[in-house]
Amino acid sequence: MQFQKGGRQYEKILVIICLVAVGLFFFIGKLEGDNKLFAKALPSHINEANEIKEITIYEVKPVGKPKAISLTEKEDIAKVLKAAGSMELEKGNEFVSSGYLLLFQGSKESYSLTVNKDGKMDMDGHKEHYDIKGSNELFQVIQTFNDKWEHLDEEEV
């Protein structure tokens, strides 16, 4: 008799453990479900199949004379893509209104994104908002191109 009672307690404990495990997997999946690598956030036509020929970067700020960089050398383009490629992104909800606007010109299509120093990023024409988890390597790399900035006239903006 005692053995059956203990068996039922064992079954109850097993069921509780299974429920906790399922709940834990669901919770972890939900936490990680909104995260993705930068390379995965880009549309597939911009990734490997569509080689990027030029990256134009505009400094977006509320005051001051606007400036831009046009990167056409493969080393510079690779530097930007490498810095951004491993960044982990998390879905966000903030519109990026200052920072850098990057225009990726591929052999067939183009794509834009905006990134700021606070680790916020907008993609797909400000339709998708992300928070950068960890180091904002893309912003840091853009700032290394200090000698390539050109001031723009108001007509060029």
Give pLDDT tens digits for 12-45. Answer: 777 777 666 665 555 555 444 555 556 555 554 4
Examine the domain organization and report whether 107 and 125 are in the same domain: yes
Examine the domain organization and report whether 7 and 42 are in the same domain: no
Residues 6+ away with beta carbon under 8 Å from 2: none
Pair of tokens at residue 20: 């906790």
Tokens 């180091």 correspond to 135
Contact 126, 96 (CB under 8 A): yes
pTM: 0.69
Contact 52, 45 (CB under 8 A): no
Which regions in the chain score pLDDT beneath 50?
A: 1-3, 30-32, 44-45, 49
Domain that holds residue 108: 35-156
Q: What letter does residue 41 receive in the DSSP assignment?
A: H
Number of domains in the chain: 2
CATH code of the domain containing 150: 3.30.1490
